[in-house]
Structure 1
Amino acid sequence: MTVASHIAELKKKHAHLSEMVEQAQRSPGSDDLQIAEWKKQKLKIKEEIERLSHA
């Protein structure tokens, strides 16, 4: 897997997590702990994308 394809895959995962967070935040009674976990995952993915982009 090339670095570019790895970054593209990470961006897809990041977008999917963003969508899940937005949906959960709009629905009443959503699990705040789950939303927080998804946000942590998003941040880790974003940091990995940044690291790979500047490598």
Structure 2
Amino acid sequence: MNLESHIDALKGRHASLEDKIAAEDRRPQPDVSALARMKVEKLRLKEQMERLKTQ
């Protein structure tokens, strides 16, 4: 997998997590711990994309 396709895959996972976070947040009683885990994962993906872009 080349660098660009790897970054694209990470962007896809990041967007998917964004959708899941939004859906969970819209629930009447969102699962706060699940939201926290997803947000941490989303941030990790963002940081990984930034690292790869600077290479």
Instruction: Please classify the TM superposition score into its range, dividing by the shorter chain length.
Output: over 0.9
Q: Could you tell me which amino acid in structure 1 is paired with residue 10 of structure 2? A: L
Cα-Cα RMSD: 0.5
Distance 1:49 1:38 in 2: 16
Mapped partners of 2:33, 2:27: distance in 1: 14
TM-score for both structures, normalised by structure 2: 0.97
Runs of 4+ in 1 over 4 A off after TM superposition: none
Residue in 1 that maps onto 2:4: 4
Unaligned ranges ≥5, structure 1: none
State the number of aligned residues: 55
Overall identity of the aligned pairs, in %: 38
Q: TM-score, normalised by structure 1?
A: 0.97
Aligned amino acid, residue 13 of structure 2: K
Structure 2, unmatched stretches of 5+, are none
Structure 1 residues 4-36: Cα deviation after superposition (integer angstroms, max 9, x where no partner): 000000000000000000011011112100000
